């Protein structure tokens, strides 16, 4: 099945129901014809009515999203994003296939190995000759357009993501902070994201009671 598209480079190919722990979403499958990557969107409710839409733009993290890794906060952030959308009964979660902040799974494993020897997340990437963050968001504009969404209330702690979306012409009407998933194994990583990558930390909703306060 191929549905109508407004962009030749990225097309919506299929839609199905996806019942989850937190409610029933619609799962939309997209293919980027330039990269061959398969991106997906989870949606709930009537999102194409013009009102701002609660939105999470989540980049793939196999270890965090699929293997319950405590090295990062991706898994809890994914779950919290889906829960927030389900609680409102309306929203979009875009799941972008750019693993390891875009460096790919194998490079991420190599970077983790360097971190095991003491490097932080930024230095590990640099030791591998890789940028700190290779993610890009041009597909977001097309995906949201195909879903009928132009204005988002964005769930993120990352100002660079807000700027990237605004540069694409997406209206970000509100930022919704999301601080979940801090634990004893990822505290240093999360601190590095704040200290060296500009991530915001205006509140801490600790999800792991074993963690000592900052």
Query: Contacting Zn ion (CB under 5 A), which of 44, 72, 93, 165?
Result: 72
Contacts to Zn ion from residues 74-93, by CB under 5 A? 74
Q: Please, where are the H alpha helices in 39-186?
A: 67, 74-88, 105-116, 121-127, 138-147, 159-167
Nearer to Zn ion, 26 or 69 (CB): 69
CB 85 within 8 A of CB 44: yes
Set 71, 133, 153, 182: catalytic member = 133
Task: Pick out residues in 41-70 that bind Zn ion (CB under 5 A).
Answer: 61, 64
The verdict on whether 182 is a catalytic residue reads no
Catalytic residue of the set 71, 101, 110, 135: 135
178 is an interface residue for Zn ion by CB under 5 A = no
Closest CA to 114 of 99, 132, 128: 128
Is 45 in contact with 34 (CB distance < 8 Å)? no
Q: Please say if 135 is a catalytic residue.
A: yes
Q: How far apart are CA 21 and CA 184, in angstroms?
A: 26
Closest approach of Zn ion to the CB of residue 64, in Å = 3
Q: Which residue, 72 or 143, is less far from Zn ion as judged by CB?
A: 72
| CA triple 172-86-10, angle to 5 deg | 55
Any idea which residues carry the catalytic annotation? 133, 135
């Amino acid at each position: 099945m191929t549905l109508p598209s407004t962009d030749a480079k990225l097309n919506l190919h299929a839609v199905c129901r996806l019942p989850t722990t937190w409610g029933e979403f619609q799962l939309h499958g997209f293919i980027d014809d330039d990269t061959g990557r398969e991106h997906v969107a989870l949606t709930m409710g009537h999102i194409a009515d013009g009102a701002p839409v609660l939105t999470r733009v989540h980049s793939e993290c196999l270890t965090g999203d699929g293997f319950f890794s405590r090295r990062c906060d991706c898994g809890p952030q994914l779950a919290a994003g889906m829960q927030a959308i389900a609680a409102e009964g309306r929203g979009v979660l875009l799941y972008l296939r750019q693993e390891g902040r875009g460096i790919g799974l194998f490079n991420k494993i190599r970077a983790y190995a360097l971190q095991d020897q003491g490097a932080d997340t930024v230095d590990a990437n640099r030791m591998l000759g890789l940028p700190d963050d290779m993610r890009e968001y041009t597909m977001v504009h097309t995906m949201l357009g195909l879903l009928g969404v132009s204005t988002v209330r964005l769930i993120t702690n990352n100002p660079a993501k807000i700027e990237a979306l605004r540069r694409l012409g997406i209206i970000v009407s509100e930022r919704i902070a999301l601080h979940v998933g801090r634990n004893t194994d990822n505290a240093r990583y999360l601190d590095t994201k704040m200290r060296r990558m500009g991530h915001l930390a205006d509140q801490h909703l600790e999800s792991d009671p074993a963690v000592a306060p900052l």
